[in-house]
Amino acid sequence: MTSLCFLWHMHQPFYKDLWTGHYKLPWTRLHALKDYPGMVRVLDAFPTVHQTFNLVPSMLAQIEDYATGKASDPFFDCAVIPAEDLSEAQRAFVMRYFFQANVDHMIRRQPRYGELYDRRFETFAPRELRDLQILSQLVWFDEDQLAADESLQDLIRKGRDFTLADQELLTRKQRDALTDVLPVYRDYAARKQIEISTTPFYHPILPLLCDSDMGAVSSPGMTLPERFSYPQDARVQLERARAYMRRTLGIDPSGLWPSEGSVSDEVLALAADCGFRWAATDNGVLARTLQQDAGCDVTYQAYVWQREQREMKLLFRDHYLSDLIGFEYSRMDASQAADHFLDRIRHNARGTQGLGPIILDGENAWEWYHQQGRPFLRELYKRIADDPELEALTVSEALAKFEARPLGHVFPGSWINANFNIWIGAEEDNKAWTYLLAARRAYDEHSPNVSEAARQLAYEEILIAEGSDWCWWYGPEHGSDNRVEFDQIYRDHLANVYRALSLEVPSELEHPILHHQPQENDIHERPGNSLDVILDGEVTSAFEWMGAGRFRPDPRSGAMHGGTPPAREMYYGFREGHVSVRLDGADPSAQFTIVFEGGVSETRVAVGRTVELQATITGPRFRVSVQRNGLAPVTLPQDGWIDVE
C-alpha cells in the first residue's frame, strides 16, 4: 500500500501595524473566508482521508482579531460604507483595488462583476459602486458556503442593483464566517482526521536568522550584506509558535514546516530543543544532502536527522507532484487531473510500501481553479478513499508506520532551488537585511533605557520584520499589485522599533527599498520586416531572425513561486503566407503547435539548440500551444492572440 501525506500550508504576512493598530492589506481576511475552513470541511465526505494542515501563528492571530471585532482594514471599511457616503479618496481606492481577483475564475464568474471590470476606467455612479463593493467581497466566500447559504444564493441570483440591506447582510456574513475558522480546526483535530503542524511565529527564514552567511553556503559567491546572526530570535520564534498553538487550539504540535521549507543543522537542533518531533522540506534539499538525484526511490521514505544527542524525523516533499497541484492541474478537468496525479503516484511507488509527501500552499492555488478547486479535491479524495492500495495519512501517522533512514547532516536550503536566493543576495534584499540589522542593534543598545511595554513593542516589531514575506517581494523574482504596499509595511515595522525606543527614525526608512517597479506585463514587439527562416532548430545566421517580432512572457511569480512560462522568449515573423516561430528556453521534448483563431494549422517543428516552428497562415491571429508530460497545454501568449500582419 502507498501512503500519501498531504500537508497544506496556510499562511499570510502580518499586515497589522502595532503602533497604529491598523491592518494595511485584506488578504488574511479574504483567504479566511475562501480557503481556511473550507479546505478542512471538504474532508467531511471522506472520513478515511487524513491530512496535515500547517497553520502559521501570526496568521491565526490576525484571524482572531477579525473574529473578535478588533481588526479591520481599509478594503473592508470601503466595502461596508454606503456607496453614496464614500469620499472622493475612498471612491478612488475602491476603483483601484476592488478588482484584485482572478479575472477568469472569480471576476467573470459573476457577469455584473465582469461588466464592471471591463468598464473599470470609467466613472461609476453610486449604484455601480455598491455592486462593485458587494461583488468584490462575495467572490471570496467559500465555495461550499456559497452553495449552502440561501441568503448568499439570493445575492448571486440577484446579480446587480444591490441595496444597502444587501450590503449590510454581506457584512454580517463575513463577520460570522471569520468566527468559524479556528473552531473548525479544533474540531477536526479532535476527531483525529487532521493533524495540525506549525511554523515559526512570524514566518522567518530560520537559517538566515541564525546566520545570514548561510546564503553563500547554498549559493557560493553570493553577494551578502553585513552578517545578521541572532539564533536567540530564531528560538523565540519557535517557542512562541508552540505556546500560541497550545493556548489557542489546545494542541502541542509535533510537526514543523520551517518557513519556506528552510532548514539547516542549527535550525533542526533548535526545533528539537523546542519540542518538535518532525519537520519537512523539499526533495531538492535531500538531493544536495545526499549529493545525488532525489528520485522517487529516495524521496518516498521517512528520514531521521540525528546529531549531538538530538533527533528530528524528516519528510522531503515530492517537488514535481506538489507543483502539479499548485500550478498545472487548474487548467485540466477535475477528474482528468485527479487521474493524472494518481497515475504518477502509482508509477512512482511501483507497488512498494512507499510514502509520498505532497506539500504545498493551501490557499493561493485555488483562485486559478474552477470553483476554487473543490471539484478537483473531491475527485482526488474519492479515488484515494476507494483504492485499496492507497491511503492518506497525517504526517505523524505515516512516520509511526515507516522505518526512518538516518541522516547525520542536512544541507542548508529551502524548497525553492535548495537555496535562499529569494530572500538574500539581490540588491533590494540585502538593503532590507542591512536595515533590519541596524534596527536590531538599536534595540540591543537602547532597550534597557525604555519601559517594559516599550521594550516589548520594539522587540515584537523586530520579530515581525524578521518574517520572510518582505524579502519575497524584493528582488527580481516576484511581482504583485501590492508590491509597493509590502515595501511600505516592512519599513513601517522597522520604523516602529525606533519609535518604541524613543529614537529618531532613520531617514532611509522614509524612502522605498524598491529602487524600481519591474516590468509588470509581458513584453511584445511587432516584426520590423519579413523573415526568411531555414527550419532546422538552429540560428543559422545573424540575419535569419533579424527584425523578428519578439514576445517575452513575464517570468515573475506571485504569491506562489513556480509555474514558469513554457519558453523564455518567442520570436516570430511572416513571409509568403507562412508564420515562422522561434522558441528560446523551451523544453525540447514538449509538443508544439501553432494555433490560429479559426483552428489548428499543420505545424512543422525542428528542434536543435532552439525550437523552430512554421505553419501556413489560416486565420487573422495566432498563438503557440506547448504541451508537456500529458498535462493541459500552455499557450504563448497565455491570454489573447498575436495579430497576423
Residue 27 cell numbers, joined: 488578504
Q: Write the single-letter amino acid at 275.
A: G
165: cell is 440591506
In degrees, rounded to 5, the angle at the alpha carbon of residue 341 between the alpha carbons of residues 340 and 347 is 90
Which three-class secondary structure state does DSSP give residue 357?
A: strand
| pLDDT above 90 coverage of the chain, percent | 79
Query: Average pLDDT, stretch 602-628?
Result: 91
Q: What is the pLDDT of residue 560?
A: 46
Cell 517594559, located at residue: 452
**pLDDT of 333 over the 70 cut:** yes
- Look at the block and give the residue holding cell 489546545: 250
The predicted pLDDT at position 226 comes to 97
pLDDT at 559 over 70: no
Q: What is the pLDDT of residue 87?
A: 93
Query: Between the CA of residue 311 and those of 272, 305, 401, what are the distances in Å?
Result: 7, 5, 18
Q: Is the pLDDT of residue 521 over 70?
A: no
CA distance 260 to 419: 10
Average pLDDT over residues 8-17: 94
- Give the start-to-end residue ranges of the domains of the chain: 7-182, 428-510, 523-643
Q: Which residues 6+ apart lie within 8 Å of 296 measured at CB?
A: 318, 348, 349, 350, 354
pLDDT at 168: 96
Higher pLDDT, 392 or 559: 392
Residue 324 has pLDDT above 80, yes or no: yes
Q: How do residues 419-448 score in pLDDT, each as one tens digit? A: 999 999 999 999 999 999 999 999 999 999
The top-level CATH class assigned to 523-643 is mainly beta
Confidence (pLDDT) at 518: 45
Which of residues 632 and 305 earns the better pLDDT score? 305
Instruction: Spell out the residues 6+ positions from residue 438 whose beta carbon is closer than 8 angstroms to its own.
Output: 506
User: Which of 190-199, 253-262, 330-339, 342-351 bottoms out in mean pLDDT, i.e. has the lowest?
Assistant: 342-351
Residues 225-263 pLDDT 10s: 999 999 999 999 999 999 999 999 999 999 999 999 999
pLDDT at 274: 97
Asked whether residue 181 carries a pLDDT value surpassing 70, the answer given is yes
Read off the pLDDT of residues 35-67 as tens digits, 9 standing for 90 and up.
999 999 999 999 999 999 999 999 999 999 999
Does the domain formed by 428-510 have CATH 1.20.1250?
Answer: no
**Per-residue buried b or exposed e for 247-266, using 16+ beta carbons within 10 Å of the residue's own CB:** ebbebebbbbbbbbbbbbbb
- Which has the closest alpha carbon to 130: 157, 187, 100, 90? 90
Please report the pLDDT score of residue 555 as a whole number.
65
Q: What share of the chain is helix, strand, coil (3-state, %, to 5)?
A: 45, 20, 35
Provide mean pLDDT across the span 106-111. 96
pLDDT band for 478, please (50, 70, 90 cuts). low
Strands 310-317 and 278-282: parallel
Rounded to two decimals, the pTM is: 0.85
268: pLDDT strictly greater than 80: yes
| DSSP code per residue over 426-457 | SHHHHHHHHHHHHHHHHHHHHGGGS-HHHHHH
pLDDT over 50 (residue 519): no
CA distance 511 to 118: 35
Instruction: Give the pLDDT confidence score for residue 631 in this predicted structure.
Output: 80
Q: What is the percent of the chain with per-residue pLDDT over 70, rounded to a whole number?
A: 97
Query: Average pLDDT over the chain, rounded to whole?
Result: 92
Q: Residue 565's pLDDT band (boundaries 50, 70, 90)? A: confident
Q: Quick: pLDDT tens for 291-303.
A: 999 999 999 999 9
pLDDT the model gives residue 286: 97
What's at 296, amino acid-wise?
A: C
